[in-house]
Amino acid sequence: MLNPILFYSTNFRAESLDFRHALLKGQAPDRGLYMPQEIPVISREELDTFSTQDYPRIAFEIIGRFLRQQIPDDDLLDLCQDAYDYDVPLEKVYDSKYIMRLDQGPTASFKDFAARMMGRLMQYYLNQEKRSLLILTATSGDTGSAIANAFYGLDNIKVVVLFPRKEVTARQRKQMTTLGKNVQILALDAKFDDCQSLVKQAFADPDLEYLHLSSANSINIGRLIPQIVYYFYAFARLRKGKANDGVIFSVPSGNFGDMMGGMLALKMGLPVIKYIIATNENDEFPVLVKTGVYKKIEPSRNCISSAMNVGHPSNLARLIALYGGIMDEKGNMMKQPDLELMRKDIYAVSIDDAGTRKTIHTAYQKHRLLLEPHGAVGWAGLQQFLQDNPQFDDPEQLYISLETAHPAKFPEQIREILNIDPKLPPSLEGIESKEETYSSIDNNYHDFKKYLITNY
């Protein structure tokens, strides 16, 4: 058997672990993020075979590369088939420009892809070890519901989700608060970053060690690896042939988990010409790429693409690590990454709310393309890239822009901008009339800690 791939911490002050241990730990003890020491490569021949394989099989191939048979093949394939029992539509917009809709999972968000696989992998290992975990997660909207749904009803995993009361839509809230069982929800009059910071403090608190806390935020390596898969899948389905292979993805980004999945796909050998990384008005990353100077945005700016209102992306340290730099958990650049190399792979752009609204409107008028605010930031980023780089504006060039949520999750904006009511996907039907249960706590660590100790 091959030696396992080890995962190092981006702060370089913690022991490297294999996948199982990094998954169950979440964040490294030195507050860094786990990254693979070695990135497995998918050969061109293997990539060719993906064109005829279904999504669960491609997931099995990609994820399996990182596990190196630590889970027997049959078991891992079962987990993939169970996690990915829904469609991944690729919708042509014009020329060779496509939208990949990652919104057909149980919570109609792309976060289902990561959360469902991570939940199943954790459950698999915990069953073997006959032990349990408490998952703490902060959400700006979609993570919480994806995590809550992915773990709902599992025997040995309990979940606590913190959310900023005013930054989450009623529908997003109901997807979390109508579950019950092993899932508890806490509302805070605070921002997403505050919720995230309480969760991080709890992880570092020795008094809470007895709870076996784990994170299910996008910082968990078990969420990152499944997010590599759809980049391979989309390329395998839409590629043009061997001569002019190569794709440009546009990724609407907040905490950069999604784009890190893409970056790992690139390092694994996927022929990606460029990643367009589109943020909303929280433009700390586009500014970094342009100027080389990183400055968090505190507090983060409120935009209609609310799941991307992030003033300091929690996965940024991983990207910096990939380009040879070091960023600590507070966002201090301890060592500068290779910016030139980064600029070769990445085009970063910030789209404001006016641009987002306009894009939703024009895409619908011009192409009958229905986008919600997050996907619209991605599509607007693609348009901006074409304007800035006319040499890439070739009708033959394959472009894939990610749509990260279902438009029906943002009915107010869609109604206001397009004057239509997007139809609910089957997974969200009936949610309006279900009963909600959740608690409220103040935004201070003392109260949060008391809540955990009293309830668990």
Ligand X SMILES: *Cc1c(COP(=O)(O)O)cnc(C)c1O
Rank residues 57 and 267 by Cβ distance to ligand X and give the closer one. 267
DSSP designation for 244: T
Report the alpha-carbon distance of residue 64 to residue 349 in Å, rounded.
Answer: 33
| Shortest distance (Å) from residue 213 CB to ligand X | 21
| Shortest distance (Å) from residue 275 CB to ligand X | 12
Rank residues 120 and 374 by Cβ distance to ligand X and give the closer one. 374
Beta strands 439-440 and 183-188, pairing class: parallel
What separation in angstroms does the CA of 281 have from each of 65, 298, 407, 410? 37, 12, 20, 19
Instruction: Give contact residues for ligand X (rule: CB under 6 A).
Output: 109, 111, 141-142, 218, 252-258, 307-308, 374, 404-405
Report the alpha-carbon distance of residue 321 to residue 327 in Å, rounded.
Answer: 8
Beta strands 398-403 and 439-440, pairing class: unpaired
DSSP track, 342-408? HHHHEEEEE--HHHHHHHHHHHHHHH-----HHHHHHHHHHHHHHHH-GGG--TTSEEEEEE-B-GG
Rank residues 253 and 384 by Cβ distance to ligand X and give the closer one. 253
Rank residues 215 and 404 by Cβ distance to ligand X and give the closer one. 404
| Shortest distance (Å) from residue 218 CB to ligand X | 5
Cβ proximity of 103 and 110 under 8 Å:
yes
Rank residues 126 and 266 by Cβ distance to ligand X and give the closer one. 266
Rank residues 102 and 133 by Cβ distance to ligand X and give the closer one. 102
**Cβ atoms within 10 Å, residue 292:** 13
Residue 132's nearest CA partner among 143, 123, 121 is 123
| Shortest distance (Å) from residue 407 CB to ligand X | 11
| Shortest distance (Å) from residue 131 CB to ligand X | 29
Rank residues 105 and 252 by Cβ distance to ligand X and give the closer one. 252
| Shortest distance (Å) from residue 178 CB to ligand X | 19
Rank residues 125 and 404 by Cβ distance to ligand X and give the closer one. 404
Task: State which amino acid sits at residue 23.
Answer: L
Residue 405's nearest CA partner among 362, 359, 372 is 372
What separation in angstroms does the CA of 430 have from each of 152, 174, 434? 18, 11, 7
| Shortest distance (Å) from residue 399 CB to ligand X | 18
Rank residues 47 and 356 by Cβ distance to ligand X and give the closer one. 356
Biggest CA-to-CA distance, the chain: 63
| Shortest distance (Å) from residue 375 CB to ligand X | 7
| Shortest distance (Å) from residue 48 CB to ligand X | 29
**Cβ atoms within 10 Å, residue 118:** 27
Strand ranges for 4-96 from DSSP E:
7-9, 34-36, 90-94
Cβ proximity of 263 and 319 under 8 Å:
yes
Rank residues 76 and 107 by Cβ distance to ligand X and give the closer one. 107
| Shortest distance (Å) from residue 403 CB to ligand X | 9
List residues bridging with 162 in a β-sheet. 138, 186
Residue 200's nearest CA partner among 15, 355, 429, 29 is 29
